[in-house]
Copies of this chain bind each other. A is one copy, B any other.
Amino acid sequence: MDLREYFDEFTAKDWPRADEGTVRFAMIGLGWWTLDHAIPATNELEHLETTTVVSSSTENAQDVADDHETIEHALTYDEFQEGEATDAYDAVYVGTPNALHLPYVESAAEFGKDILCEKPLEANVERAEELVEAASDVTLGVEYRMHVQPAVRRMRDLVDSGFVGDVALVHGNMSQPLLDINDDHDQWRLNPDMAGGGASVTDLGVYSINTTRYVIDRDPVAVSGATWSGHEAFDDVPDERASFTVEFPDGVLASCTASQNAQEASSLRVVGTEGELLLEDAFLGGERKLTVTRGDTTITTEFDQIEETKRSLEYFADHVLTDTPIVGDGEHGLVDQRAIDAVYEAAESGERVQL
């Protein structure tokens, strides 16, 4: 094996690349992800620029604008929806609480702007369907960082090539100590009106569901499982913790867990009839570790984390500028939303839910 080729293949950006043009962004919702990841990414990339920020107050938006040379417009949500400064941006990044994706996507679509929406699409399937419908005439991408993660792409290639034989079983887990990140018990992630069905499956479980879909190239057919909440901050949501089975075509069974109140941990394990793939620190953390086993031979690859949000925004902009369809589009996002809603329904009713 030519190691250079291996490296190149591993980190390949294998999507249509833009040669020219710039996608000017309005950043909607100035939470930690937008500030720490999304805006800096546009600043560093060639074909992207943040020109507009949108928040609950002019002050809040202006504070962020003041920190960045390229940002010319600091709008409130109302001003954004009234169509202010539409000449200044070409696309929006929607990083608001889940239940506020729909109104801003509707406005952006009305203005003819392309949309990169945070996952999950919305608070529930009905609203997500409205969102996709509203965005039918623009490019809608869902921010699935994992689709541009080199190790995840490598797993997808290995599965596709038959390296592990037939995929049999999958394990996906993701947990983080949410209250250590933000100790406000009234934050939107703990409020079902804003987050949707709950706190952990919507925000974290979606990684196991979506990344499994991406890696094994199949969509869920049924789910079952259980949720539990005990900590007082999780009084309004059912899922401080969740454990659920996702059934895929050809009998692939995925065992997934998620918790917003546990040690930061994440992994994705794929067991096939002839091999095994294990990605440690799969969805969070500074270093990815991919362990590949076939028969008796195991190879482990450790590597620094690619700046996924940067890559993901670039991926979106490249598709917009080259006018090519995105894998993680609205229809793709709806499949996750249906699975998420079904996990809550299954956990509450105690019955498997067919999709």
A residues engaging B (CB < 8 A)? Answer: 164-165, 168-169, 171, 173, 175, 177, 222, 224-226, 228-230, 240-245, 247, 250-251, 253-257, 259, 261-263, 265, 267, 269, 271-276, 293-294, 346, 350-352
- Chain B residue numbers with a CB within 8 Å of A229 are 251
Asked whether, in the complex, the Cβ of A271 is within 8 Å of the Cβ of B276, the reply is no
In the assembled complex, the Cα of A7 lies from the Cα of B207 at a distance in Å of: 39
Query: In chain B, what residue has the closest Cβ to A273?
Result: B262
Which 9 A-B pairs have CB atoms at the shortest separation, nearest pair first?
A: A228-B251, A243-B253, A350-B352, A255-B255, A168-B262, A169-B257, A243-B245, A243-B255, A224-B224
Query: Chain A: interface secondary structure?
Result: strand
Highest count of chain B CB atoms <10 Å: which of A224, A228, A244: A224
A282 to chain B, nearest CB (A): 13
**What are 23 A-B pairs at a CB distance below 8 A?**
A168-B175, A168-B241, A168-B262, A168-B263, A169-B173, A169-B259, A169-B262, A171-B255, A173-B271, A177-B273, A224-B350, A226-B245, A230-B251, A243-B245, A243-B255, A244-B255, A253-B257, A255-B256, A257-B271, A262-B271, A265-B276, A351-B351, A351-B352
Query: In chain B, what residue has the closest Cβ to A251?
Result: B228
Asked whether, in the complex, the Cβ of A164 is within 8 Å of the Cβ of B263, the reply is yes
- Chain B residue numbers with a CB within 8 Å of A351 are 350-352
Residue of B263, B271, B352 near A226 (CB, 8 A) is B352
In the assembled complex, the Cα of A229 lies from the Cα of B164 at a distance in Å of: 18
A336 to chain B, nearest CB (A): 18
- Chain B residue numbers with a CB within 8 Å of A272 are 262-263
Asked whether, in the complex, the Cβ of A293 is within 8 Å of the Cβ of B265, the reply is yes
- Chain B residue numbers with a CB within 8 Å of A241 are 168-169, 251, 253
Asked whether, in the complex, the Cβ of A173 is within 8 Å of the Cβ of B171, the reply is yes
Query: In chain B, what residue has the closest Cβ to A167?
Result: B262
Asked whether, in the complex, the Cβ of A230 is within 8 Å of the Cβ of B250, the reply is yes
Known contacts: A168-B175, A226-B247. The answer to whether A255 contacts B253 by CB under 8 A is no
Asked whether, in the complex, the Cβ of B242 is within 8 Å of the Cβ of A226, the reply is no
- Chain B residue numbers with a CB within 8 Å of A230 are 250-251
- Chain B residue numbers with a CB within 8 Å of A253 are 226, 228, 241-243, 257
* Interface contacts beyond A165-B263, A171-B257, A259-B271: sample of 10 additional A-B pairs, CB < 8 Å, sorted by A: A168-B261, A168-B263, A225-B245, A226-B245, A241-B253, A244-B245, A255-B257, A262-B272, A263-B272, A350-B352
